Amino acid sequence: MQKLPRRIIVIPPYNRKCLVLIGFSNLKECVHKYKMGKELASLFNELPSKDDSALLLNDTRGRYILWLPSRKVSNETLNHEATHLVDAIHRYVGEGNADEYRAYFPAWFNKEVRKVL
């Protein structure tokens, strides 16, 4: 069986971690291996459909998992998930105004995820 890509992306300037998972990985095993917090493993009982992406949030630890169904993902999908991620990070760190960060983050995030793909 082919090993599915996965990698931790450390998000500056807040030093938050986002684990990028591609394909039908064992979510609980990955959460444990990458120390993402047991709260993430219990967010849903099954992975989304094979056509959907998902961003799992652990707001108590500031850890995140981006799950993608395959290596073929559109820029629009990555930008969509990046926007959710910016909002989640700013909720976690308690900063209200994320406008400038939100403006630059999708392009940076897209480039980092493409390295994993």
| Residue 15 CB neighbour total at 10 angstroms | 9
The percent of residues above 70 in pLDDT, for the chain, comes to 80
Could you give the C-alpha distances from 12 to 2, 52, 73, 89, in angstroms and in order? 31, 27, 23, 11
Total domains in the chain come to 1
| 1 inside domain | no
Which domain does 31 fall in, by range?
6-116
Residue 43 lies in a domain: yes
Q: Is residue 26 part of a domain?
A: yes
Rounded Cα distance, 22 and 45, in Å: 17
Residue 101 belongs to some domain of the structure: yes
Give the pLDDT score at 96: 65
Sign of CA dihedral 105, 109, 7, 72: positive
Q: Does 51 fall in a domain?
A: yes
Task: Determine, yes or no, domain membership for 91.
Answer: yes
Residue count (the chain): 117
Say what the pLDDT of residue 1 is: 46
90 Cβ contact list (under 8 Å, min separation 6): 96, 98, 101
Instruction: Calculate the average pLDDT of the chain.
Output: 80
Q: In 3D, which of 73, 58, 62 has the Cα closest to residue 109?
A: 73
Per-residue pLDDT tens for 40-93?
A: 766 655 556 667 788 888 777 888 888 888 888 899 999 999 988 988 888 888
The answer to the question of residue 109 being in a domain is yes
User: In this structure, is residue 87 part of a structural domain?
Assistant: yes
pLDDT for 110 equals 92
Determine if the pTM surpasses 0.85.
no
